[in-house]
Amino acid sequence: MIDTAPPAELTERDALRHRLPDHPSAREAMYWVICLPEERLGISVYAYIKPTGEATQVVLGWGPELRTVLLDEIRDAPIVGDDLDDFTVGRLHMRQPDPLRTWEVSYAGEELELDFRFSGMHRAFSYWENPNGSPLAFTSHNRVEQCGTVEGTLRRNGRTVGFRTTGHHDHSWGMRDWAAMMHYKWIAAQAGDDLAVHATQVIWRGRVMVNGYVYRDGLLSPLVDARFDGSYESDLHPRTVELELRDAAGRLTHARGERFGGTVFPFPGVELTETGCRFEIEGRPGVGLCEMLWPEGYRSHLETTWGHLGGR
């Protein structure tokens, strides 16, 4: 039986591996996203571990015209290292010099090489801090989210580019049943190193759940309500994203994103649209990612049946 009771406050132990349910849908996952609109590029780095111990690495790069420029996936690879403080999966090497605060990540691929240091701009946030807890189908036990600064080097197409920007990291453990969810929106955006929002809407078993936070004026506060809007292409890929977020401190925060690039990434039974955006949060410019989940076939059905009407 899966324990879904709210856990205690996060500790450094939560930065390491957890015991997973003995189920094929269980996993422990680490994720980073970096949006570089000036390079016309977005990069998602993803690694997850199964209950049996095998791990998978995914490095996804995308650009304008909804084009995938890189997909490097290595499945069921061995983990080199005793725990998540310093380990390797496939062509990814990950370290935590300061648990729940910093990561050092390097990727040595044939088409792209990437080295970066992620430093959290606020403490790690647990989904159990939100009123509805952690959505079961999305992650049965816990999900830790954190915006931060990202500094590193990118080598691609014969060019070496140094960058310093903002990005997002999460770490989750428990069940991950993509096909059980009717839809979700996952949005992380930052405007400088002292203003950030993270908002998720998950629709599962007819229930709509909101998770995330606002980090503003030095205060990290859980969301209590969120309104999502925007405009879409006929194939359900968003052109713009608009957020109105109310947090537990009583603040109302507005954010708007406009797409600079993205792609569609298929998972078993679902499709994910990855949309990198230039964001504006309370009038300040920034960057971020909007990821949406759709049931398999739904996007193509709307494009075929309703595409002649255009996006709205």
Could you read off the pLDDT of 125-179 as tens digits, one per residue? 999 999 988 888 787 789 999 999 999 999 999 999 999 999 999 999 998 888 8
Domain assignment present for 46:
yes
Within a domain: residue 210? yes
Structural contact between residues 29 and 35, judged by C-beta atoms closer than 8 angstroms: no
Rounded distance, CA 211 to CA 215, Å? 14
On whether residue 11 sits in a domain, the answer given is no
Tens digit of each residue's pLDDT (9 = 90 or more) over 278-311: 999 999 999 999 999 999 888 888 888 887 655 5
Please give the residue range of the domain that contains residue 136: 26-309
Cα distances (Å, whole numbers) of residue 201 to 156, 169, 187, 209: 35, 18, 9, 6
In a domain, 96, yes or no: yes
State the total domains in the chain. 1
The CA distance from 84 to 95, in Å, is 7
Q: Is residue 127 part of a domain?
A: yes
**Global pTM exceeds 0.85:** yes
- Domain at 257, CATH number: 2.40.370.10
At residue 14, φ and ψ (nearest 5 deg) are -70, -10
Does residue 233 belong to any structural domain of this protein? yes
DSSP 8-state assignment for residue 81: S
Residue 7 within any structural domain of the chain: no
Q: How confident is the model at residue 236 (pLDDT cuts 50, 70, 90)?
A: confident
Q: Answer whether residue 2 shows pLDDT above 80.
A: no
Q: Which of 102-106, 205-209, 227-231 has the lowest mean pLDDT?
A: 205-209
Does residue 107 belong to any structural domain of this protein?
A: yes
What is the Cα–Cα distance from 105 to 152, expressed in whole angstroms? 9
